[in-house]
Structure 1
Amino acid sequence: MTDGAHLTTVDTVHDAGSWLFTVRDAYGELDEVILVPCDDRVEGWINRCTHEAQRLDVGRGAAMRDGEIICPRHGSTFDSCAGDCDNGDAAGTRLVPIETTVEDGDVYLSDSSVTFANEGGIDEATTSPADDVDDEDDLPSSTSHIGF
């Protein structure tokens, strides 16, 4: 059995397209992580584009297409398995990995540099359900070179 926190299942990540959770680093700072499908497994990445620190998942799931994570701001795409970007403003960079382990279809946090804080984003740990109002102002502006 894995020592890390149980996160979710591989099936859940594959069915949803991505899964967002929050971790705390050694200094107590919170950061968001996305789990994304990668072949028959999942990969974990810090929820931040390498170009301008834009969140890849703003709480509605990461935009994915053909095995790539799409930055909602500039349209750079990152390989979901390797984290590498070969196009757009983030070309030549790589997402920051977070180690996970899969055991019997369950996904566990196994990265010793962080601890599990909560499912969902950072805001979900600090707001109450009454504060959860759908506000279109929190959507990223887009100057993407990729159309949907």
Structure 2
Amino acid sequence: MPPGTAIAAVEEIPEESTLVFTVEDIEADEEKEALLVELDDEVAGWLNYCQHMTHIKIDKGSGAPMRNGELVCENHGAYFESDTGYCSFGPCEGAYLEEVDVTVDAGTAYLTDDEYEFLRTGAIESDPSDLSSSSNVKI
């Protein structure tokens, strides 16, 4: 029996980058984005939000940039260790990404975190009429 809900085959996670998926935070009844990053012999899962300004996504949909094995927030220049989520450099230095429990079984990454329900691979489906983000400001 699988250990949780299948997210993706490990081979689908880009090397030196990430794979985004959407979960529902069960307690908050809210969709959130998460990401997978492949480590040496396992996979790590993190919520896809920088800890400096938590509405900023680390993976904007085409894979997060990485440098020397660390995830990079392009907005603020923060670096996060891909295996621990620790911010080693930047405006949120010392903070941690929020972990999403995942496990690998037979080459597939599974969501095993009881706080989240897997919805789909890919980013949150946005509503073009929602102008609540500062990146949507129109003058």
Normalization by structure 2: what TM-score? 0.84
- Separation in 2, partners of 1:3, 1:37: 18
Q: Percent identity?
A: 36
Shift of residue 19, structure 1, vs aligned partner: 0.6
CA distance in 1, matches of 2:39, 2:84: 9
Unmatched segments (≥5 aa) in structure 1: 128-137, 139-148
Query: Which structure: greater helix fraction?
Result: 1
CA RMSD of aligned residues (A): 2.1
Q: Deviations over 1:93-131 (max 9, x none)?
A: 00000000100111111001100111101126x68xxxx
What letter is aligned with 2:52?
H
Alignment of 1:23-42 (within 5 A): 23-26=23-26, 27-42=28-43
Number of residue-to-residue matches in the alignment: 129
Runs of 4+ in 1 over 4 A off after TM superposition: none
SS in 2 for 1:50: coil
Q: Which amino acid aligns with 1:24?
A: E
* Matched residue, 1:9: 9
Query: Within 5 A, what are the aligned runs for 1:1-148?
Result: 1-15=1-15, 17-26=17-26, 27-53=28-54, 54-123=56-125
Question: Contact conserved, 1:77 with 1:88, CA < 8 A, in 2?
Answer: yes
Is the 8 Å Cα contact of residues 23 and 31 (structure 1) preserved in structure 2?
Answer: yes
Contact conserved, 1:20 with 1:34, CA < 8 A, in 2? yes
Segment drifting more, 9-18 vs 29-38? 9-18
- The residue that corresponds to 1:146 in the other structure is none
2:131 aligns with none
Structure 2 gaps, min length 5: 129-134
Question: What TM-score comes out, normalization by structure 1 length?
Answer: 0.79
